Amino acid sequence: MQRGFVQFPVIVILAVAVLVGAYYVGISASKLPRLSVSLTPPLPPEVPSTPSASPPSQRFVALECKLGGCNGEICQDKESETRVSSCVIVQGFGCYKTGRCEKQVNGKCGWTQTQELQACLEKFSE
């Protein structure tokens, strides 16, 4: 009879300890930062099309075009499926940060081959 009397408080204490521990673990877990994982890299923001020429220090993306590729190096039609590229860092891709993504003479979006873009790309082609 004495034995059952001793076991009951021990069981109650253990149950309370488990409940309190579970409560604190739940609070700690709710304070952890939530991680957002994306399998596709973000694209650079598009610059709205304007009738005037854009300054050479800023990328220009016409309204009917969009950027694709891991580094935003692909200029393509807005209606087309977003193209992807291997996420290899190529120094020449920095040249497109000041490029003009717009409709070309063939009716499709592409990079306008300005003198600045060509000169920049030539630096990295060697």
Does residue 3 lie in a domain region?
no
Q: In the 8-state DSSP scheme, what is residue 103?
A: E
Does residue 8 lie in a domain region?
no
Does residue 32 lie in a domain region?
no
- Number of structural domains the chain divides into: 1
Predicted model pTM: 0.52
pLDDT in tens, 55-85: 455 788 999 999 988 888 899 999 998 888 8
Domain of 73, in residue numbers = 60-125
Among the listed residues 105, 101, 103, 47, the one whose alpha carbon sits nearest the alpha carbon of residue 69: 101
Does residue 99 lie in a domain region?
yes
Band the pLDDT of 107: cuts 50, 70, 90: very high
Written as one string, the DSSP assignment of 29-87 is HHTSPPP---SSPPPPPPPPP-SSPPPTTS-EE-TTEEEESTTS-EEEETTSPPP----
pLDDT at 67: 92
Does residue 119 lie in a domain region?
yes
- Residue 107 sits at φ, ψ, to 5 deg, of 90, 0
Higher local confidence (pLDDT), 35 or 26: 26
CA distance 73 to 44: 10
Percent of the chain whose pLDDT exceeds 70: 58
Amino acid at residue number 44: P
Find the mean pLDDT for residues 77-104.
87
